Structure 1
Amino acid sequence: MPQDSNQLQIAAPGAPVLEKVGLGAILLAYAVLLGAAYLFAYWRTMGFDIFPYLSVQNYVTAPLNRISVLVAAPALFTVIVFGRTATPENNRYLRDISLYLIVLYSVGFAIQQFQAVSRYIQHDFHFDNEFNVLVLAAVLFAGSLVLSFRVYRMPSSVHMKLAALVLVQAAMATAAGYSDGKAIYNGAAQAFLLENTEICKAGGVRDWVYLGKYGDQTFFLNTIDKRICIAGGKDFRLISRKLREGL
């Protein structure tokens, strides 16, 4: 019987996975993964579960202050495009591109992980399982090295090259999130402070550090007792901590 043209066309079992799923869906899932890794590590340093407050957009936009994360999507896109036209010459180029990118992100991971571990060691107080974030970043990086070795030593599919690249980027995002969160929690100079403090506490004299805005909720951290203030739908004014304290 002829198939209705309005019905969804189902790819044959042998069709490439990228054709079945679609490039847009893959890039969205990839962006959400990196955002989730960054946010998990960032908020673990606060001892707070941020995930119930997040939307898909928050996962995608949260780590965009990082230049290294901004160039991640084009890098992955390049690998995917080369992988869609599988010829011997393209496979060779794809392997070289993948390995160069993995080396680049490995350097980025090493820098971020060093900062994260240093900030962990510098301070005595840590929340439960906080150290596990650093372990997770190291495990993700180790997994990317194993896959990268396989990509280098023997022919491998585009999916393995992508997996190696995504793992090393996720490792870097995790380390960067922890490093950023730990710096803010312990008084980083590059933070922003809430000017109209009555939003969090009427008559309060303590400073509140801006942590982020997710949907209609804005989050601040008290600089003294480390309480978290959730201000919903309120106008707020921020001032640079460097400017306020003359740093």
Structure 2
Amino acid sequence: MSYPEPPEKTNSPDFLGLDNLGLGILLYSYATLLGAAYVFGFWRVFGLDIFPFMSPLDYVSAPLNRMLVLIAVPLLFAVIFFGARGSLEREKSSKAALYLVGLYAAAFLSQEYQAVRRFMDFEFAFRNEISVLFITAVLFLGGIWFGYWIYKKRENVHIQIASLLLLQVALSMSAGYSDGKAIFNGAGNVMFLDNKTLCEEKGVRDWVLVGKFTDHTFFMNTIDKRLCITAEKNYKLISRMYKEGL
């Protein structure tokens, strides 16, 4: 009697001990991690611990204007999926991972240069603000180090994941800091609060929209950089470019 041969054992995506639901949870958790890195970098500029004001959904939605942040998660999990299969797929996965390392390294260096420039262009900075630039640099160097080992050990998908994860987190945090510093320094594409009395009775200074989460909206005074936190849902915004004819 002949028995069917057992299926070839492959290092499939469930090598992490996850089914489709577990992988989906991991995907959401990683998106949350990138969002938290972006939010941390962004709000460190304003000297505010923003995390108590945020809901789980806010972590994912905060960096939606950043295309590289958006595509980071599917790219990473594509490496997991294809790198977990046969030897040919693993070879292709390692080459793709190396290209992605180069892409994210170039994007980070460009973003970090912009962040450093914005840090140096404005004379005021909170005491621990520079820690963001230090953390992103350490994450970047760690990602490059793992990238070197991708070249040395091409079929090790865990090294590929580690390299891309560190570079993506570094890029997200640097992008968040750069965006926050641009608003703090007076970006031209911001939105002003039309009804100024919402933040200050008989106020004459403009208030810039800094961020909006599930239950709170944050504005910053354009003169003394004070923050206004409100739960009001009904307010009107006006573009700075429109208001000042930029």
TM above 0.5: yes
1:72 aligns with 2:75: no
1:70 Cα shift?
Answer: 1.8
Q: Which amino acid aligns with 1:114?
A: Y
1:34 aligns with 2:34: yes
Task: State how far apart, in whole Å, the 2-side matches of 1:225 and 1:211 are.
Answer: 14
What whole-Å deviation, never above 9, does each CA across 1:33-84 have from its counterpart, x for those lacking one?
1111110010000011100011111111100101111221221231122033
1:189 aligns with 2:188: yes
Q: Is the 8 A contact 1:192 1:241 kept in 2?
A: yes
Task: State how far apart, in whole Å, the 2-side matches of 1:155 and 1:95 are.
Answer: 5
What whole-Å deviation, never above 9, does each CA across 1:8-37 have from its counterpart, x for those lacking one?
xxxxxxx72153682212211111111111
1:201 Cα shift?
Answer: 1.0
Q: Secondary structure at the match of 1:63?
A: coil
1:146 Cα shift?
Answer: 0.6
Q: Is the 8 A contact 1:82 1:90 kept in 2?
A: yes
Give 1:97-112 correspondences, 5 Å limit: 97-112=96-111
Task: State how far apart, in whole Å, the 1-side matches of 2:181 and 2:17 are.
Answer: 38
1:165 aligns to what? 164
1:6 aligns to what? none
1:105 Cα shift?
Answer: 1.1
Q: Secondary structure at the match of 1:212?
A: strand
The 4+ residue runs of structure 1 with deviation greater than 6 A are none
What whole-Å deviation, never above 9, does each CA across 1:129-168 have from its counterpart, x for those lacking one?
1111001111000000011101111245322211111110
1:178 aligns to what? 177
1:208 aligns with 2:233: no
Q: Secondary structure at the match of 2:64?
A: helix
Task: State how far apart, in whole Å, the 2-side matches of 1:156 and 1:89 are.
Answer: 10
Gapped regions of structure 2 (runs ≥ 5):
1-13
Task: State how far apart, in whole Å, the 1-side matches of 2:71 and 2:50 are.
Answer: 25
1:7 aligns to what? none
Q: Which amino acid aligns with 1:213?
A: K
Task: State how far apart, in whole Å, the 1-side matches of 2:84 and 2:155 are.
Answer: 14
Q: Which moved more, 1:17-26 or 1:147-156?
A: 17-26
Q: Which moved more, 1:56-65 or 1:233-242?
A: 233-242
2:47 aligns to what? 47
1:131 aligns to what? 130
1:11 aligns to what? none
Task: State how far apart, in whole Å, the 1-side matches of 2:62 and 2:189 are.
Answer: 17
1:245 Cα shift?
Answer: 1.2
Percent of pairs identical after alignment? 48
Task: State how far apart, in whole Å, the 2-side matches of 1:84 and 1:153 are.
Answer: 18
1:234 Cα shift?
Answer: 3.2
**TM-score normalised per structure 1:** 0.90
Gapped regions of structure 1 (runs ≥ 5):
1-14
